[in-house]
Amino acid sequence: MNFVSRHAYILIVAGVFVGAIYATTLPLDAQTYWLSEDGPVEMSSAIAYVICAAIMCIVGGKKFITRYYYLVGITLLFAMRELDFDKRFTTMGVLKSRFYLSDQVPLTEKLIGACVVGLLLFFVYKIVSNHAKPFIQGLLRLDKVQIGAALVVTFLVVSKSMDGIDRKLGDIGIQVSADFAEKAETFEETMELGIPLLMMATFAAYRQRKLTSNPS
Protein backbone atom coordinates (compact mmCIF):
# COMPACT_ATOMS: atom_id res chain seq x y z
CA MET A 1 0.00 0.00 0.00
CA ASN A 2 1.00 3.58 -0.61
CA PHE A 3 2.56 5.32 2.42
CA VAL A 4 0.07 8.20 2.51
CA SER A 5 -3.02 6.02 2.02
CA ARG A 6 -1.93 3.44 4.59
CA HIS A 7 -1.31 6.06 7.22
CA ALA A 8 -4.52 7.92 6.39
CA TYR A 9 -6.53 4.79 7.09
CA ILE A 10 -4.60 4.10 10.29
CA LEU A 11 -5.02 7.67 11.53
CA ILE A 12 -8.77 7.70 10.86
CA VAL A 13 -9.41 4.32 12.51
CA ALA A 14 -7.18 5.18 15.48
CA GLY A 15 -8.77 8.62 15.78
CA VAL A 16 -12.26 7.12 15.86
CA PHE A 17 -11.41 4.67 18.63
CA VAL A 18 -9.43 7.18 20.67
CA GLY A 19 -12.28 9.69 20.29
CA ALA A 20 -14.87 7.10 21.31
CA ILE A 21 -12.88 6.02 24.36
CA TYR A 22 -12.35 9.64 25.38
CA ALA A 23 -16.07 10.37 24.94
CA THR A 24 -16.98 7.56 27.36
CA THR A 25 -14.95 9.35 30.07
CA LEU A 26 -16.93 12.58 29.75
CA PRO A 27 -19.69 13.46 32.21
CA LEU A 28 -23.12 12.20 31.15
CA ASP A 29 -24.44 15.67 30.28
CA ALA A 30 -21.42 16.31 28.05
CA GLN A 31 -21.89 12.95 26.31
CA THR A 32 -25.56 13.74 25.81
CA TYR A 33 -24.68 17.08 24.20
CA TRP A 34 -21.94 15.81 21.90
CA LEU A 35 -23.75 12.65 20.79
CA SER A 36 -27.34 13.85 20.70
CA GLU A 37 -29.43 14.17 17.55
CA ASP A 38 -28.40 17.42 15.81
CA GLY A 39 -25.38 17.46 18.16
CA PRO A 40 -21.80 18.26 17.06
CA VAL A 41 -20.83 14.67 16.18
CA GLU A 42 -23.95 13.92 14.14
CA MET A 43 -23.80 17.27 12.33
CA SER A 44 -20.10 16.75 11.61
CA SER A 45 -20.93 13.36 10.08
CA ALA A 46 -23.58 14.90 7.81
CA ILE A 47 -21.26 17.70 6.74
CA ALA A 48 -18.46 15.22 6.06
CA TYR A 49 -20.76 13.18 3.80
CA VAL A 50 -21.71 16.31 1.84
CA ILE A 51 -18.05 17.28 1.52
CA CYS A 52 -17.23 13.75 0.36
CA ALA A 53 -19.94 13.88 -2.33
CA ALA A 54 -18.73 17.34 -3.41
CA ILE A 55 -15.14 16.08 -3.70
CA MET A 56 -16.31 13.17 -5.85
CA CYS A 57 -18.16 15.55 -8.17
CA ILE A 58 -15.55 18.32 -8.36
CA VAL A 59 -12.40 16.21 -8.42
CA GLY A 60 -13.88 13.23 -10.24
CA GLY A 61 -15.61 15.44 -12.75
CA LYS A 62 -18.37 14.64 -15.23
CA LYS A 63 -16.81 11.31 -16.20
CA PHE A 64 -16.82 10.05 -12.61
CA ILE A 65 -20.37 11.28 -11.95
CA THR A 66 -21.68 9.63 -15.12
CA ARG A 67 -19.99 6.33 -14.37
CA TYR A 68 -20.39 6.24 -10.57
CA TYR A 69 -23.51 8.32 -9.96
CA TYR A 70 -24.70 5.69 -7.47
CA LEU A 71 -21.67 6.29 -5.23
CA VAL A 72 -22.41 10.01 -5.13
CA GLY A 73 -26.10 9.28 -4.61
CA ILE A 74 -25.67 6.88 -1.71
CA THR A 75 -23.23 9.28 -0.05
CA LEU A 76 -25.87 12.01 -0.16
CA LEU A 77 -28.49 9.60 1.19
CA PHE A 78 -26.15 8.85 4.10
CA ALA A 79 -25.88 12.59 4.74
CA MET A 80 -29.66 12.92 4.80
CA ARG A 81 -29.87 9.93 7.14
CA GLU A 82 -27.48 11.66 9.56
CA LEU A 83 -29.77 14.70 9.44
CA ASP A 84 -32.70 12.38 10.28
CA PHE A 85 -34.45 13.14 6.99
CA ASP A 86 -35.77 9.57 7.10
CA LYS A 87 -38.09 10.54 9.97
CA ARG A 88 -37.95 14.33 10.28
CA PHE A 89 -40.73 14.97 7.75
CA THR A 90 -42.87 11.87 8.14
CA THR A 91 -45.10 10.30 10.77
CA MET A 92 -42.36 7.78 11.62
CA GLY A 93 -39.08 6.57 10.16
CA VAL A 94 -39.37 5.43 6.53
CA LEU A 95 -36.80 2.70 7.18
CA LYS A 96 -39.09 0.93 9.66
CA SER A 97 -41.39 -1.81 8.37
CA ARG A 98 -44.31 -0.58 10.44
CA PHE A 99 -44.17 2.73 8.52
CA TYR A 100 -45.69 0.89 5.55
CA LEU A 101 -48.10 -1.22 7.61
CA SER A 102 -49.49 1.41 9.98
CA ASP A 103 -52.90 2.97 9.36
CA GLN A 104 -51.59 6.17 10.95
CA VAL A 105 -49.25 6.89 8.02
CA PRO A 106 -50.85 8.65 5.02
CA LEU A 107 -50.59 6.90 1.65
CA THR A 108 -48.62 9.83 0.20
CA GLU A 109 -45.94 9.41 2.86
CA LYS A 110 -45.78 5.68 2.20
CA LEU A 111 -45.28 6.26 -1.53
CA ILE A 112 -42.53 8.80 -0.93
CA GLY A 113 -40.87 6.52 1.62
CA ALA A 114 -41.05 3.58 -0.79
CA CYS A 115 -39.39 5.67 -3.50
CA VAL A 116 -36.57 6.65 -1.15
CA VAL A 117 -36.02 3.07 0.01
CA GLY A 118 -36.22 1.86 -3.59
CA LEU A 119 -33.57 4.37 -4.62
CA LEU A 120 -31.32 3.26 -1.77
CA LEU A 121 -31.74 -0.41 -2.71
CA PHE A 122 -31.00 0.44 -6.36
CA PHE A 123 -27.76 2.18 -5.37
CA VAL A 124 -26.78 -0.81 -3.21
CA TYR A 125 -27.56 -3.18 -6.09
CA LYS A 126 -25.38 -1.14 -8.47
CA ILE A 127 -22.51 -1.11 -5.98
CA VAL A 128 -22.68 -4.86 -5.37
CA SER A 129 -23.18 -5.85 -9.01
CA ASN A 130 -20.43 -3.57 -10.31
CA HIS A 131 -17.87 -3.83 -7.53
CA ALA A 132 -18.24 -7.13 -5.64
CA LYS A 133 -15.82 -9.10 -7.83
CA PRO A 134 -13.17 -6.33 -8.13
CA PHE A 135 -13.55 -5.75 -4.39
CA ILE A 136 -12.69 -9.36 -3.50
CA GLN A 137 -9.87 -9.53 -6.05
CA GLY A 138 -8.45 -6.22 -4.82
CA LEU A 139 -8.54 -7.31 -1.19
CA LEU A 140 -6.51 -10.40 -2.05
CA ARG A 141 -3.90 -8.09 -3.63
CA LEU A 142 -4.10 -5.70 -0.64
CA ASP A 143 -5.14 -2.96 -3.04
CA LYS A 144 -5.35 0.34 -1.18
CA VAL A 145 -8.71 1.31 -2.71
CA GLN A 146 -10.36 -1.99 -1.81
CA ILE A 147 -8.90 -1.91 1.70
CA GLY A 148 -10.48 1.50 2.17
CA ALA A 149 -13.80 0.16 0.87
CA ALA A 150 -13.53 -2.78 3.27
CA LEU A 151 -13.02 -0.41 6.18
CA VAL A 152 -16.07 1.62 5.13
CA VAL A 153 -18.22 -1.52 4.98
CA THR A 154 -16.86 -2.74 8.32
CA PHE A 155 -17.62 0.56 10.03
CA LEU A 156 -21.12 0.57 8.51
CA VAL A 157 -21.90 -2.95 9.70
CA VAL A 158 -20.39 -2.56 13.18
CA SER A 159 -21.97 0.83 13.87
CA LYS A 160 -25.36 -0.42 12.68
CA SER A 161 -24.99 -3.47 14.92
CA MET A 162 -24.30 -1.22 17.92
CA ASP A 163 -27.40 0.88 17.28
CA GLY A 164 -29.88 -0.12 20.01
CA ILE A 165 -27.70 -3.05 21.02
CA ASP A 166 -29.45 -3.42 24.37
CA ARG A 167 -32.79 -3.91 22.60
CA LYS A 168 -31.31 -6.28 20.00
CA LEU A 169 -29.62 -8.42 22.62
CA GLY A 170 -32.72 -8.30 24.80
CA ASP A 171 -34.73 -9.80 21.94
CA ILE A 172 -32.58 -12.94 22.13
CA GLY A 173 -32.61 -13.09 25.92
CA ILE A 174 -29.30 -11.34 26.65
CA GLN A 175 -29.49 -8.49 29.14
CA VAL A 176 -26.79 -5.80 29.23
CA SER A 177 -26.22 -2.98 31.68
CA ALA A 178 -27.24 0.60 30.97
CA ASP A 179 -23.56 1.58 31.17
CA PHE A 180 -22.67 -0.92 28.44
CA ALA A 181 -25.51 0.35 26.24
CA GLU A 182 -24.36 3.95 26.68
CA LYS A 183 -20.76 3.07 25.77
CA ALA A 184 -21.98 1.15 22.71
CA GLU A 185 -24.00 4.19 21.62
CA THR A 186 -20.91 6.37 22.05
CA PHE A 187 -18.86 4.05 19.84
CA GLU A 188 -21.68 3.88 17.30
CA GLU A 189 -21.94 7.66 16.88
CA THR A 190 -18.16 8.08 16.72
CA MET A 191 -17.77 5.27 14.17
CA GLU A 192 -20.45 6.90 12.03
CA LEU A 193 -18.28 10.02 11.90
CA GLY A 194 -15.38 7.87 10.72
CA ILE A 195 -17.31 6.47 7.73
CA PRO A 196 -17.31 9.60 5.51
CA LEU A 197 -13.67 10.26 6.47
CA LEU A 198 -12.74 6.75 5.31
CA MET A 199 -14.74 7.34 2.14
CA MET A 200 -12.71 10.47 1.42
CA ALA A 201 -9.44 8.61 2.00
CA THR A 202 -10.64 5.79 -0.28
CA PHE A 203 -11.54 8.25 -3.02
CA ALA A 204 -8.13 9.88 -2.64
CA ALA A 205 -6.52 6.45 -3.08
CA TYR A 206 -8.68 5.86 -6.17
CA ARG A 207 -7.65 9.21 -7.67
CA GLN A 208 -4.00 8.54 -6.92
CA ARG A 209 -4.23 5.21 -8.71
CA LYS A 210 -5.94 6.82 -11.70
CA LEU A 211 -3.28 9.53 -11.93
CA THR A 212 -0.50 6.97 -11.63
CA SER A 213 -1.92 4.77 -14.39
CA ASN A 214 -2.79 7.81 -16.57
CA PRO A 215 -0.15 10.45 -15.79
CA SER A 216 -1.26 12.62 -18.66
pLDDT tens digit string along 75-107? 999 999 988 888 888 787 788 888 888 888 889
CA torsion, ordered 8, 9, 14, 19, to nearest 10 deg = 80
Q: What is the mean pLDDT of the chain?
A: 87
Is pTM beyond 0.85 here?
yes
d(CA 188, CA 198): 15
The number of helices, as runs of H, and strands, as runs of E, in the chain is 10, 0
From its phi and psi, is residue 150 left (phi > 0), alpha (psi between -120 and 50) or beta? alpha
Question: Residue 215: what pLDDT?
Answer: 57
Does the pLDDT of residue 167 top 90, yes or no? no
Quickly state the pLDDT bin for 64 (edges 50, 70, 90).
Answer: very high
